[in-house]
Structure 1
Amino acid sequence: MRSLQALPDTGALADDEYFVYALCYAHNGSRRVHDAFLMPQDLHNGPMPIDYSIWIVENGYRRFIVDLGFDPASAARRNRKLTHDPVGALERIGVRCEAVSDVVITHLHCDHAGNIERFPTATVHVQDSEVAFVASRCMCEDHLRFPYELDHVLNVMRKNFAKQLAFHDGDDILFPGVTLHKLPGHTAGLQGVRVKTPRGPVLLASDATHYFPNAYNLKPHPITLDVASMIASYRKIISLVPGPDYVIPGHDPKVRAIYPKLMVNGIVLHALHDTPSETDAGYFQSVTNYLPEYPLEQ
């Protein structure tokens, strides 16, 4: 593992080409296979730990962040143990909140949409339908409201009133080499981010597929607003990239297992623009290869 004082230089990249890093800020090793699939009767119930990550995308022309994770207060309310405050970890690797011009929020669930207020000048990119859902009568239903935090939703509204909320209605171009793709199912307006990198197009799918096997076995996750839409989104994910080794799920520890890692000022990152150690399709379809305890330092 390389140990650096700053993120690697991006000077050789073209305007439409990027380095992409995963920053895992929390981990739960107690989850089981039956927590990951809606109808798991044909599967064993072995360990299926879960990671929580945000993503940094940059070249010499721009830098933006995809998702902002739990904020410490909402994590404490939900009994989630953070290894790093996501924003504090960003600052340690040299990403200053006040200097971030754009943040993509894939969806407004509590483990993705915290900390918006800590980026005072950033434009936040969301899907129309995601914001419409959290402002609808659906929030009167406990089951539908549970994954959201009121403070996070209010911070989105504050961005809107400050003219710092960018709405997208379906697939869209964000920057040269970066496209947004609507992938509903888990939520009403979840969006993935496809990024051109030196090895090809990498899709930050977020919770459109929590784990590789959700999409590549067409097995929906239990937390699903619309099962039919989720399965359709799985098929769309598969169509957007050359193979499963170009998809980055929202919570799969396999990402940390196969991508090269580097340490920047004590924060471990995984370089998603580099070739992973595993490219066999069967590996990504399998629900095995998950360890009961997955060290956060890896």
Structure 2
Amino acid sequence: MTHEIYALRYARRDARRHQHFIGGDPHDGPMPMDYFVWAIRDGARVIVVDTGFTAAVARKRGREHLRCPVESLALLGIDAAAVTDVVLTHLHYDHVGNFDRFPQANFHLREAELHYACGHFMRHKQLRHSFEVEDVTGIIRMNYAERVLFHEGVVEPWPGIRLHPTGGHSAGLQFVSVATARGSVVLASDVTHFYENLESGRPYTTAFHVGEMLDGFDRLRAAASSPAHIIPGHDPLVMQRYPAVSPDLEGIAVRLDLAPLA
């Protein structure tokens, strides 16, 4: 397959190890988090995976906003105004903000996620803190405009690109597997935030269903050609392990369809 996959880093925050593992961590220390959007290209077709958050939301939540993820797609030769398909892995604030910056796009989502974001669980502060209400209502408006496509089960909306349901971190979470020249690469999104969540079997602290989070680790492994083909959703190591798109995009964008650096 000829799919190219890009990870574009648009924000970061300082954090500590105990914040990233259920039950904490006995060796607490700094463990910063990066924020990404992803793009898949096969010839003229571009699929964007998640849309990041805005500078205003970054200020509200104490995140360091490095660049607008939508405007930064142009660094990869991608015109957001021309993108016709966006996969939303889930509706947390850092994955669905800026959806309105894609005027031609249909949004691919699991129906369970929209039900979750609108349902009775949102009366609990611990669960709703990861959502921005304006993002959720905006996706409802997109649905009324017939621009949301709902998927259930493992589906292949485009040749070589599959969406996989998993849940756990959020009730309707999904991840993406992509057939590439090096094998099946899995964009895990928040099924595993860091390599270490997956490798140690310790899920991230924001959890709707811990058992489904653990099952999600197994689903990632089953969909990927090898553990080295799994790309976590927030790990700064992604920028170190994969080659930059070009020298001037070092630390900004990397190619995930190429083999990891030695």
Q: With structure 1 as the length reference, what TM-score do the two structures score?
A: 0.84
Check whether the contact 2:185–2:225 (CA below 8 A) recurs between aligned residues: no
Partner in structure 1 of residue 94 of structure 2: 111
- Select which of 40, 45, 66 maps to 1:57: 40
Cα distance change on mapping 1:264 and 1:176 into 2, 3 Å: farther
Question: Aligned to 2:168, what secondary structure does the other structure show?
Answer: coil
Cα distance change on mapping 1:244 and 1:266 into 2, 3 Å: closer
Q: Is it true that 1:135 corresponds to 2:118 in the alignment?
A: yes
Q: Matched residues in 2 for 1:49 and 1:78: separation?
A: 15
Question: Aligned to 1:159, what secondary structure does the other structure show?
Answer: helix
Question: Aligned to 2:177, what secondary structure does the other structure show?
Answer: strand
Q: Matched residues in 2 for 1:40 and 1:93: separation?
A: 38
Unaligned runs of 5+ in 2: none
Question: Aligned to 2:245, what secondary structure does the other structure show?
Answer: strand
Q: Matched residues in 2 for 1:101 and 1:260: separation?
A: 27
Partner in structure 2 of residue 274 of structure 1: 258
Question: Aligned to 1:163, what secondary structure does the other structure show?
Answer: coil
Return the offset for 1:242. 2.5
Identity %: 38
Partner in structure 2 of residue 195 of structure 1: 178
Letter in 2 for 1:222: T
Return the offset for 1:96. 1.6
Partner in structure 1 of residue 18 of structure 2: 34
Q: Matched residues in 1 for 2:244 and 2:18: separation?
A: 30
Cα distance change on mapping 1:214 and 1:266 into 2, 3 Å: closer
Letter in 1 for 2:6: Y
Letter in 2 for 1:176: P
Question: Aligned to 1:130, what secondary structure does the other structure show?
Answer: helix
- Select which of 52, 63, 68 maps to 1:69: 52
Question: Aligned to 2:246, what secondary structure does the other structure show?
Answer: strand
Deviation sequence 1:211-237 (CA, Å, 0-9, x none)? 112112211111111101100111111
Aligned residues: 261
Partner in structure 2 of residue 6 of structure 1: none
Q: Is it true that 1:224 corresponds to 2:207 in the alignment?
A: yes
Unaligned runs of 5+ in 1: 1-15, 279-298
Q: Matched residues in 2 for 1:127 and 1:46: separation?
A: 36
Check whether the contact 1:212–1:244 (CA below 8 A) recurs between aligned residues: no
Cα distance change on mapping 1:243 and 1:192 into 2, 3 Å: same
Letter in 2 for 1:37: F
Deviation sequence 1:89-133 (CA, Å, 0-9, x none)? 113433222200000011100011100111111000001110110
Letter in 2 for 1:31: A
Question: Aligned to 2:216, what secondary structure does the other structure show?
Answer: helix
Return the offset for 1:266. 5.4
Q: Matched residues in 2 for 1:202 and 1:72: separation?
A: 30
Question: Aligned to 1:112, what secondary structure does the other structure show?
Answer: helix
- Select which of 151, 170, 175 maps to 2:134: 151
Q: Matched residues in 2 for 1:228 and 1:112: separation?
A: 23
- Select which of 42, 45, 50 maps to 2:28: 45
Q: With structure 2 as the length reference, what TM-score do the two structures score?
A: 0.95
Check whether the contact 1:70–1:113 (CA below 8 A) recurs between aligned residues: yes
Partner in structure 1 of residue 109 of structure 2: 126
Return the offset for 1:35. 1.1
Q: Which has the larger radius of gyration?
A: 1
Q: Give the number of the structure whose residues are more often helix, by fraction.
A: 2
Partner in structure 2 of residue 186 of structure 1: 169
Q: Is it true that 1:174 corresponds to 2:157 in the alignment?
A: yes
Q: Matched residues in 2 for 1:59 and 1:238: separation?
A: 24
Check whether the contact 1:258–1:276 (CA below 8 A) recurs between aligned residues: yes
Return the offset for 1:162. 0.8
Letter in 2 for 1:18: H
- Select which of 85, 94, 101 maps to 2:68: 85
Return the offset for 1:75. 1.7
Deviation sequence 1:20-67 (CA, Å, 0-9, x none)? 000000122x311111110234x3112211110000100114111000
Question: Aligned to 2:240, what secondary structure does the other structure show?
Answer: helix
Letter in 1 for 2:234: H
Partner in structure 2 of residue 23 of structure 1: 8
